[in-house]
């Protein structure tokens, strides 16, 4: 899922939000303000319930963020670059730019998230008990108790041994430690993820159809998401295996043709594009430094009448939004950076200088070649 807007950075990790998070935020705030709070602490004004509902939903998302941030920071400590954290419909995702290098690292990265949720849950429950002991609690105690419960529930759900949940990664780490076979462990964790996903879908549908409970539909949706994510993880594991030992240097187009940012779109189309066989060009500034990437898709968005007035530098994707790699990075690590990006390109830098460009089709060709070399079938 793409991030719709950015919230900023915490500890150097980019925090973003997908629009779908608003759906779950509204559901939680509304559910608390309209049902939970009035039921357990009646007699307050609607405004008080709404304020408490909104505040509780905000703190819930902060605890979710703490869970993901823990994954991200521990991943970084274990040598894995972190692209950022996105909050969305089904919670949060910490996007890591590589894989754990050992079962121990996997265990630490996966385990710390649920651990943070358990600690937060315990703190909230303790706080709720303390508030209750003072003055009968009030709305604040009910809200804090809910936060305690939901964080514990989050931790418990997340350690279910099914990919792509944290528990799936823990299972993978354990199998990897025992068997020494990373690929097989990943495939097994992905299978467990699909089985668990189908269980959720089945149980959710039965609850929804049998009792008309919308919670059942929600459970089914989560199950469906788990099935597709687990399937993707299994396939990615096979691809990683195929690409083992292949580095960015082996598949990149070296010294790519660049286009000056000061060139107009019209000149680019008339004089430049037909003389070059590529469809994406790194854009340079006057000093020759790379400042972005222009693709035909971005050019297409410029109205014909505007082409003379518009410069390439203005339509280029800024460098900070372009996937980047270094020549010695494993290609398998580049694949996640490319997926979900419409431009489908990764710029390769060495010592700050642009040395190459990798497209999604470069990677696909490499996978096919490696499959041929290693005698494996198609996937
Ligand atoms: Zn987690």
Q: Mind listing the pLDDT tens digit for each residue in 142-152?
A: 899 999 999 99
Q: What percent of the chain has pLDDT over 70?
A: 97
Taken in order of first residue, the domains within the chain and their CATH numbers are 5-242 (no CATH), 248-373 (3.10.580.10)
Q: Locate all alpha helices (DSSP H) within 32-79, ordered by sequence.
A: 37-40, 46-77
* pLDDT band (50, 70, 90) for residue 88: confident
What mean pLDDT is predicted for residues 330-342? 81
Catalytic residue status for 68:
yes
Which pLDDT does position 375 carry in this prediction? 64
* pLDDT band (50, 70, 90) for residue 260: very high
What mean pLDDT is predicted for residues 7-16? 86
From CA 61, how far away is CA 179, in angstroms rounded?
A: 38
137 versus 332: the higher-pLDDT residue is 332
Q: Give the distance (Å) from ligand 1 centre to CA of residue 212.
A: 30
Which pLDDT does position 290 carry in this prediction? 93
Q: Which residues contact 311 (CB under 8 A, 6 or more apart)?
A: 261, 262, 263, 264, 265
Q: pLDDT (tens digit, 9 = 90+) per residue, 214-245?
A: 778 888 999 999 999 999 888 888 888 888 88
Which pLDDT does position 11 carry in this prediction? 83
Q: Give the distance (Å) from ligand 1 centre to CA of residue 294.
A: 36
Catalytic residue among 2, 3, 68, 257: 68
Q: Which tokens go with 52? A: 């408490």
Q: Give the distance (Å) from ligand 1 centre to CA of residue 141.
A: 27
Angle at 339 between CA 334 and CA 341, to 5 degrees: 110
Which pLDDT does position 332 carry in this prediction? 84
From CA 152, how far away is CA 18, in angstroms rounded?
A: 24
Q: Give the distance (Å) from ligand 1 centre to CA of residue 165.
A: 7
Tell me the chain's radius of gyration from C-alpha atoms.
25
């Amino acid at each position: 899922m793409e991030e719709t807007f950015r919230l900023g950075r915490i500890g150097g990790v980019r925090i973003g939000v997908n629009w779908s998070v608003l759906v779950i935020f509204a559901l939680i705030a509304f559910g608390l303000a309209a049902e939970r709070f009035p039921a357990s602490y009646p007699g307050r004004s609607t405004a008080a319930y709404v304020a408490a509902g909104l505040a509780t939903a905000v703190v819930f998302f902060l605890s979710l963020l703490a869970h993901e941030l823990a994954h991200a920071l521990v991943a970084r400590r274990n040598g894995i670059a972190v692209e950022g954290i996105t909050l969305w419909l089904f919670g949060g995702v910490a996007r890591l730019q590589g894989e754990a290098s050992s079962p121990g690292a996997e265990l630490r990265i996966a385990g710390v998230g649920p651990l943070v949720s358990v600690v937060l849950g315990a703190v909230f429950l303790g706080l709720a008990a303390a508030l209750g002991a003072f003055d009968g609690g009030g709305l604040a105690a009910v809200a804090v108790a809910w936060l305690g419960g939901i964080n514990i529930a989050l931790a418990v759900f997340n350690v279910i041994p099914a990919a792509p949940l944290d528990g799936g990664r823990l299972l993978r780490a354990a199998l990897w430690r025992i068997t020494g076979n990373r690929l097989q462990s990943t495939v097994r964790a992905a299978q467990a993820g699909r089985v668990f996903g189908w269980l959720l879908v089945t149980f959710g549908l039965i609850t929804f159809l049998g009792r008309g409970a919308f919670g059942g539909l929600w459970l089914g949706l989560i199950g469906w998401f788990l099935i597709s994510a687990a399937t993707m993880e299994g396939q990615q594991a096979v691809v990683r295996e195929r690409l083992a030992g292949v580095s960015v240097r082996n598949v990149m187009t070296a010294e790519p043709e660049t286009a000056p940012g000061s060139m107009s779109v019209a000149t680019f189309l008339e004089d430049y594009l037909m003389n070059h066989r590529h469809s994406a060009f790194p854009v340079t500034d006057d000093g020759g430094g790379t400042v972005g990437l222009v693709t035909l898709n971005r050019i297409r968005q410029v109205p014909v009448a505007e082409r003379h007035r518009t410069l390439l530098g203005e339509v280029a994707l800024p460098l900070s939004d372009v996937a980047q790699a270094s020549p010695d990075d494993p290609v398998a690590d580049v694949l996640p950076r490319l997926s979900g990006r419409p431009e489908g390109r990764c710029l390769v830098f060495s010592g700050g200088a642009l040395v190459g460009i990798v497209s999604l089709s470069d990677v696909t060709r490499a996978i096919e070649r490696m499959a041929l070399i290693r005698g494996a079938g198609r996937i």
